[in-house]
Amino acid sequence: MKVTIKTYNAVAYWRWDAPSDDVCGICRVQFDGTCPNCRFPGDDCPILNGKCGHSFHLHCVNDWIQTESSRGLCPMCRQKFEFEAE
């Protein structure tokens, strides 16, 4: 069988610098993708790296921190959630 390529679409590939098997501890989506509330990966859905070693989508951890019951603690290790300022 002979195939002639008439046209093709280039597809750009984008990813975070985070290991691809890392998932957000809240929504369980890989950091390659956005949180479930966002559509496109990129700066609009950044990742926060907590000083405790746990990382989350900003949107996910923000929703958690906004709840009164979170008391500002990391949902994984229950230490105060503080993140590295970029």
Q: 83 pairs with which residues across the strands? A: 50
Q: Which does 48 bind (CB under 5 to 8 A by kind): Zn ion, another protein, none?
A: none
Number of residues binding to another protein, judged by CB under 8 A: 28
- Euclidean distance between CA atoms 64 and 78, whole angstroms: 12
Could you give the string, one character per residue 21-40, with x where binding to another protein holds by CB under 8 A and - elsewhere?
x-x-xxxxxx-xx-xxx---
Could you give the string, one character per residue 6-25, with x where binding to Zn ion holds by CB under 5 A and - elsewhere?
------------------x-
- Write the DSSP string, 40-61: S-STTS-EEEBTTS-EEEHHHH
